[in-house]
Copies of this chain bind each other. A is one copy, B any other.
Amino acid sequence: MVIKNKSKVKVIPLGGLGEIGKNLTVIEYDNEIVIIDCGLAFPGAELYGVDLVIADITYLLNNKDKVKGIFLTHGHEDHIGGLPYFLKQLNVPVYGTKLTLGLVKSKLEEHRMLADCTLNEIKLGLQIKTEHFKVEFIRTCHSIADACAIAIHTPEGIIIHTGDFKIDYTPIDGEVIDLQRFAKLGNQRVLLLMADSTNAERPGYTVSEKIIGENLTRIFGNAKGRVIVASFASNINRVQQIIKSSLAYGRKVAFSGRSMEKISAIAMELGYMHLPEGQLISVDDIHKYPADKITIITTGSQGEPMAALSRIASSTHRKIAIEKGDSVIISASPIPGNEKLISKLIDALLQKGADVIYNAIEEVHVSGHACQEELKLMHTLIKPKFFIPVHGEYRHLRQHALLAEGLGMDPKNIFMLETGQILELSRNGARKAGIVPSGSIMIDGLGIGDVGNVVLRDRKHLSEDGIITVVVAIDKASVSVLSGPDIVTRGFVYERESRDLLNEARDVVKTELDKCMEKKITDWFIIKSNIKYALGEFLYNKTKRRPIILPVIIEI
């Protein structure tokens, strides 16, 4: 039995299944673990006030000595953003392509931990070897440069994880996805494929970045004034294309927004972005050139209120104001949940007199993920024995599973895994084999994991109906009220305009207190809960709202 167990490969996703973000996949064999990606997730609206979400890595902390390294498919936050928190707990070597590591470096520098970390730049075509594993990186295309799939050669067979990918035959940087390598591995019997499901609901093919580039150039050709383009800072090829369109019309380029400035500097330094000497200008100098000789590339394509484009739109940017004749291109599509913010942004820019071009009216953005026909090509090249759809909500994973079935795969060989579930594989079979601890760790300010369900529930309640605090000082010896009740409130009604209501509320509390005093109740808990109940009913009847009621009794 021991020997049999040893001869199995375990695949354990600790994030990224049934959700968008915090991708982290564990591959284990015997005494070794390798990890693919270490991302973060951005909190949904239900996670009130939370800044970031990372994966619970208890399982890895319990198996510290096994972990050989983290292999990164690409440099997006949902694949690398969890690294600083991970490496603080478990400092293992990190492997990735040059650009991916460039972005990781900058992140680790911000956390002042770069010196303590081991980053290993990989070379395509070479394998990293451990006792049981050989790990190789395979070129793919995605909405960030230098993206890779990862193939792990295990004693039981080859495991391929596509990372996020699409198939682009004419990418801006010329780095075409290495279909040959996938085909070759496909001929060597692939045990397991894990593939990106983000666009599994979408039929057809993803349009090439080249088409977007051509559209941008046409729009630049028609622009009479400045062109301001918002895009994801990490979409380096898109930014390169915007630069190309700018240069074609003799426009200088300025970067605006912290991440745009930072990432473009990294990309230029590492040779992933090219801007001829003298064509890059500072935002401070844009007024020195005619409007039709200026391009500003900026952050804020998601309508984030604090990002550069929103500040430009709301006239709170220190250096850039919308001028009549400006063309603003939003070269991005809304991340689900951001639709309304972006709509408001577009409205504000239009109202300031800018011409705004966005995907609903012109094709100025394309997804970085494979649509159905591309997924079919990948499955057909790789011909895996087993398949786990990854990267996506449940609906996407399921569509991807149905797609694989449609290609003739045995449904028994397709595994709809959940975060924390173990898939045990050997060359002969695969089965779900229990679960490991897993979940979401919330990061709020400096606190990691100290915001839990109680705090979130309170924040939700506070956001809907506010809070009312009742303070009373009681003389313990005589069981009598010394002072109060005083009532203060926030987020319930505006105190100044609701004096009558709050005076009545104070009377309700007073009556309740008197009753307690008469009965000589000295258990503060009972007094508090009586106040809560009486005041709660009173306020609900008067307002149909249920603020949090917080009684504080001071004993003198």
Give chain A's interface residues, CB within 8 Å of chain B: 18, 44-45, 48-49, 201-202, 336-337, 339-340, 343-344, 346-347, 350-351, 356, 360-361, 393-395, 398-399, 444-447, 450-452, 454-455, 458-467, 469, 471, 473, 482-484, 486, 488, 490-494, 497-498, 542-545, 548, 550, 552, 554-556
Contacts and interface: CB of A to CB of B under 8 A. Distances in A.
A454 B489 CA distance: 12
Contacts of A49: 463-466, 491, 545
Nearest to A498: B450
Copies of this protein, total: 2
A488 B548 CA distance: 13
A459 B491 contact: yes
A458 B466 contact: yes
Contacts of A394: 346-347, 350-351
A550 B548 CA distance: 15
B545 A486 contact: no
Nearest to A305: B46
A488 B201 contact: no
A446 B542 contact: yes
Contacts of A493: 447, 450-451, 455
21 contacts: A45-B45, A45-B340, A49-B463, A336-B343, A337-B340, A343-B393, A346-B394, A350-B394, A445-B543, A445-B545, A446-B542, A450-B497, A455-B466, A458-B466, A458-B490, A467-B490, A469-B488, A473-B473, A483-B556, A490-B548, A490-B550
A3 B503 CA distance: 54
Contacts of A398: 350
A450 B498 CA distance: 8
Given A454-B494, A490-B548, A347 B393 contact: yes
A457 B288 CA distance: 40
Contact of A463 (B343, B393, B463): B463
B201 A360 contact: yes
A488 B549 CA distance: 12
A473 B492 CA distance: 25
A463 B340 contact: no
A12 to B, nearest CB: 20
A356 B484 contact: no
Nearest to A398: B350
Nearest to A547: B49
Contacts of A555: 483
A555 B473 CA distance: 9
A445 B458 CA distance: 19
Contacts of A339: 336-337, 339
Contacts of A491: 48-49, 455, 458-459, 461-462
Contact of A552 (B44, B498, B545, B552): B552
Nearest to A545: B445
Q: Point out which of A347, A446, A543, A548 has the most chain B C-beta atoms below 10 A from its C-beta.
A: A347
B545 A444 contact: yes
A269 to B, nearest CB: 30
B552 A486 contact: yes
Contact of A483 (B347, B462, B473, B545): B473
Contacts of A471: 471, 552, 554
Contacts of A399: 361
A518 B545 CA distance: 43
Nearest to A454: B494
A554 B472 CA distance: 8
Contacts of A550: 469, 488, 490
B554 A473 contact: yes
Contacts of A482: 473, 556
Smallest CB-CB A-B distances: 10 pairs: A445-B544, A463-B463, A462-B462, A49-B464, A347-B394, A458-B491, A459-B491, A445-B545, A458-B490, A48-B463
A236 to B, nearest CB: 28
Contact of A543 (B446, B452, B542): B446
Contact of A473 (B450, B490, B556): B556
Nearest to A453: B494
B350 A486 contact: no
A193 to B, nearest CB: 21
Contacts of A497: 450, 452
A535 to B, nearest CB: 15
Contacts of A473: 473, 482-483, 554, 556
A111 B450 CA distance: 45
B460 A463 contact: yes
A450 B494 contact: yes
Contacts of A486: 552, 554
A35 to B, nearest CB: 26
A339 B454 CA distance: 26
Nearest to A361: B201
Given A398-B350, A458-B466, A464-B48, A554 B483 contact: yes
Contacts of A556: 473, 482-483, 556
